Amino acid sequence: MKKYLYILLFLLVACSTSPKAPYSKDKTTEFHDFLEKSFNQIVERDPIMMGQLGIKKNQDQLNDLSIEYQDRTLEIYQEQIDELKKFDRDRLSFEDQYNYDIFLRIAQEKLKDGDWRDYEYLINPMRGAQSSLPAFMINVHLIENEEDLKNYISRLKQFKRYFLEITNGLMRSENKGAILPVFLFDKVISDSKNVIGGSPFRKNAKDSLLWGDFKKKTATLKLSQKIKNQYLKEAEKALLESVYPAYTDLISFLQEQKKRADGREGVWRFKGGDKYYQHLLWKMTTTSMTAPQIHELGLREVNRIHKEMSELQKKLKIKGNLKDFFNYAKKENFFFEDSPSGRQAYFQLSKGYINQMKKDLPKFFNRLPRSPLVVKPVEAFREKSAGLASYNSPSQDGKRPGIYYVNLFNMRALPKWEAEALAYHEGVPGHHLQLSLAQEQTALPQFRRFARFTAYNEGWGLYTEKFPKEFGYYSDPMSDFGRLSLELRRACRLVVDTGVHSLKWSKQKAVEYLNQNSPGDPSDNQKQMDRYIVMPGQATAYTLGLLKIVSLKQKAQKELGSQFDIKKFHDLILSTGSIPLDQLEKKVDDFVRSQKKSEKELL
């Protein structure tokens, strides 16, 4: 009798632990439909995002930034989580389990963001609407027909409402102690004044940015001059009655708020600022690392890169210590002159690196993006506050290419020796391949194709500065120094970002650390710190993403040996879309197992 009881018990245990039956085709389709519906539900609440994605819908609208609208968006994310959990994850396919986990991570992240929404610097020199909204109108809102003209004017008419909602948000933030440091106000005010600095706001002046853009785009349409004049008149009215008061009211508000601001820089000064900063580190790095852990990692990485630079210094036979090497790199011959011809020369140098790498991409990648890449200078109205370089994704329909922006405002911040690595990071094979190929991965659900995890995105960008070294790039030793200098800058960010926002460093202490430990231009180091101050945590993602991708590559090389294929590895990393680092590690582990299994089957 006992024998039969043991057998029955064994069968019960076996049944309870056996794999669940996979979902039927209809249920799988239902899951995919849920993912698509959920993505569209959120995107349709964000007309600016729709424009950036090239979706021809709500093109006459700007976003609703009211607190009520934000609350409803958060409710939708919670509703989506509740609906997601109705699906049994264990019955989904292997790939759909990734979709499940990443969707849940994104929705949970948005809800946590909602808890801290009043702590964000809505207006700041790096990403404020005062410059990002005109840039959106100029670079994203295409005008191909009469309807596009009407939509452009409709958006101009909403500037006043849009900026009022931003001002309301700034007041809510101030109540939480989250107010921009006093020394950053003038930059935002200056950028704002630049937008309304010409005609039609000032008589007998050069066309303002938006007025000039509208006139230029209108001129390209095949419409009668009478109709064009009618739209020009409507646009001018919208500029004077909506755009102008939007900016003047914002400027007035900022001038008054500046009087209430102080010089403290870190978010530790906010109510609950330490918890807020830890949330940002979790969000940006997709790890559970704490501020002290990241700070210590930064110090170790700075030391490692310093040693590599010292070896290069010996190779170049430059006497002295590392500081002497930094000073050597700041000689005039390593910079173009600060003139139109000098700026054009740097611009052409960057394009040259991009064009050469475009030709070489098939050496490292099996799949290349359909979307083209162009190189452009940062527009004059925002170059004072914009970063050294950046990338803008192409639209889905291919009508707007990927753009590598080069900021030519401060030529002392653009040494020739950094141009090569910078071009690889922002252009090819960096952000252009990563973001363009993600959009083109039609096998992925849309939310995966357009997801943005900073550690993955910037980790890939930094990795693409590094891996070409293995294949003979950076033939000029000073270009290799430039590669190391950029890697060093990202490592220093771990130190100064956590220093300012967690350890209560002053900006000046952080700037001094950069001046002593990196070859960056001191004035640019001041500007870089402004960025880290208004975008807390973001700067920590780069090195952590790089270290993860490098470690995964080394692991795959060790496991696969002669079977390792750099093209397959790169294609794998870029096939996932932007995902958290732990999910990326799972992907690579699965890839290695499948490659080893295939090898055994061949034997």
Mean pLDDT of 250-274: 96
Burial of 471 per CB tally in 10 Å (0-12, 13-18, 19+): exposed
The angle formed by the CA atoms of residues 382, 432 and 467, to the nearest 5 degrees, is 115
What tens digit of pLDDT does each residue of 495-549 get? Answer: 999 999 999 999 999 999 999 999 999 999 999 999 999 999 999 999 999 999 9
The angle formed by the CA atoms of residues 315, 320 and 322, to the nearest 5 degrees, is 75
Residue 10 has pLDDT above 80, yes or no: no
- pTM for this model (two decimals): 0.93
Write down the mean pLDDT value for the chain.
Answer: 95
| Cα dihedral 462, 312, 509, 336 sign | negative
Sheet strand arrangement including 389-392: 373-377, 402-406, 389-392
pLDDT at residue 107 in the model: 98
Residue 2 has pLDDT above 60, yes or no: no
What tens digit of pLDDT does each residue of 386-425 get? Answer: 888 999 999 888 889 999 999 999 999 999 999 999 999 9
Closest CA to 266 of 575, 507, 526, 48: 507
Residue with tokens 């006497």: 319
- Residue % of the chain over a pLDDT of 90: 91
User: Three-state secondary structure along 283-294?
Assistant: HHHCCCCCHHHH
pLDDT at residue 600 in the model: 63
Report the 10 Å Cβ neighbour count for 532: 26
Least confident of 138-152, 156-170, 178-192, 383-397: 383-397
pLDDT at residue 14 in the model: 47
Using CA atoms, how far apart are residues 575 and 365, in angstroms rounded to an integer?
11
Q: State the DSSP string of 97-145.
A: HHHHHHHHHHHHHHHHHHHTGGGS-SS-TTT-HHHHHHHHHHHT----S
Report the 10 Å Cβ neighbour count for 407: 19
Residue with tokens 């050469």: 356
Mean pLDDT of 64-93: 98
CA distances from 536 to 45, 119, 244 (A): 26, 11, 31
Mean pLDDT of 479-487: 98
pLDDT at residue 13 in the model: 47
Residue with tokens 């970063």: 387
Using CA atoms, how far apart are residues 104 and 117, in angstroms rounded to an integer?
20
